[in-house]
Structure 1
Amino acid sequence: MVKNLRKPAIFFDRDGVLNEDDGYVYKPPDFKWIPGATEVIRRLKEKGYLVIVITNQSGVARGFYTEDDVIHLHTWMNKDLYGRHQQQIDAFYYCPHHPKIGNEVYQKECECRKPRPGLVRKALTDFTIDLDSSCLIGDKITDLETAEAIGIKSYKFTTENLLEFMVSKRIL
């Protein structure tokens, strides 16, 4: 019975998968959705998936922007999605740390920096997720290693259109 209450989730890396990775994106005017990304989110939500973003944001540790800037951008992303499709991302998890760079608050080895699975583990405490029906979409090897560490399928995003990619992998 509990299995039936679990929902499948798609975990997305952010930069390079949902948005163009122009280096340390943290301002809404600099944010550009990857072609097909908003449509993918709409379709996944309509199919009953949880949509969860997990992202390393070492720009915080590097002093390029603040955690408030990250939260502001994620809030803006959901407002933009709602305006386009009346859908939103269920949760955003980010790691502001870097093991070698930053001030003492942010310079550390942590469990939340991918490829470690801390961000996914946090989602597992916040949601009732069916891991067997879930997967992670990322554009770097560290994303795929995160999925492996938690025991879910992963796909390396390698095209320019997220909708076409998701259809080609038979996720949508």
Structure 2
Amino acid sequence: MKLIILDRDGVINHDSDDFIKSPAEWIPVDGSLDAIARLSRAGWRIVVASNQSGIARGLFTMDTLTAIHIRMHQAVADAGGQIDAVFICPHGPHEGCACRKPAPGMLHDIARRLDVPLEGVPVVGDSLRDLQAAVQCGCAPWLVLSGKGRKTWADAGQQGLLPAGTEVREDLAAVADALLKT
């Protein structure tokens, strides 16, 4: 099975410092829906792994998050793709849970539930914590420069602080281009 794990905000949809709190605020990054569709058609299973501390902060409810994800699933389906699963961490940054990236718990949960090894699985994110979670599980870290990715590159990438082997691409479309060439 070809598996790819994607962060949501900043990779699939535009990010916001004020959080994505409603389906109307969920706006796809240019090319991301087509990228997911191309990967789906090529036999990749697409899983989303997303920190969603807005729940712990009281900014939105699980019902609202479900509505946002229904919008995401529909937009991907309309583009001809499929997201196979969505995993979230609803905890705040100071709760000390094992699932909030950069902790690897959410990725371990994906491996357990899908019964797949994670060694070499591409994990695509726009923040250092996405990449740190990936390498703890033996996954291949991919940084996109969309979302907060340019800041991550400026803060960590240019100082050599990204995990070893991190691939850097402009956006999810460029990641799909690279993966589909191999």
TM-score (normalised: structure 2): 0.79
CA separation of 1:75 and 1:49: change in aligned 2, threshold 3 A: same
Query: Which of 12, 15, 23 is the equivalent residue of 1:18?
Result: 12
1:139-160: per-residue Cα shift (whole Å, max 9, x none)? 0000000001111101110156
Question: Which ranges in structure 1 are unaligned for 5 or more consecutive residues?
Answer: 1-6, 101-107
1:15-61: per-residue Cα shift (whole Å, max 9, x none)? 01110002311312111101111111111111111100001011111
Question: Which ranges in structure 2 are unaligned for 5 or more consecutive residues?
Answer: 147-169
User: In the alignment, what sits opposite 2:156?
Assistant: none
User: In the alignment, what sits opposite 1:4?
Assistant: none
User: In the alignment, what sits opposite 1:157?
Assistant: 144
Q: Which has the higher contact order (CA 8 A, sep 6+)?
A: 1
**2:60 aligned with 1:65, yes or no?**
yes
Query: Which of 102, 110, 123 is the equivalent residue of 1:136?
Result: 123
Q: SS of the residue aligned with 2:38? A: helix
C-alpha displacement at 1:98, in angstroms? Answer: 1.2
**2:179 aligned with 1:171, yes or no?**
yes
Q: SS of the residue aligned with 1:60? A: coil
Cα distance in 2 for residues equivalent to 1:131 and 1:161: 22
Contact 1:8/1:133 (<8 A) preserved: no
Query: Which of 65, 85, 94 is the equivalent residue of 1:91?
Result: 85
Tell me which moved more, 144-153 or 64-73: 64-73
Identity %: 33
Q: What pairs up with 1:71-110 in 2 under 5 angstroms?
A: 71-85=66-80, 87-100=81-94, 108-110=95-97
1:72-102: per-residue Cα shift (whole Å, max 9, x none)? 21122112222231x32000011110143xx
Aligned residues: 156
What is the identity, as a one-letter code, of the residue corresponding to 2:71? W
Cα distance in 1 for residues equivalent to 2:29 and 2:175: 11
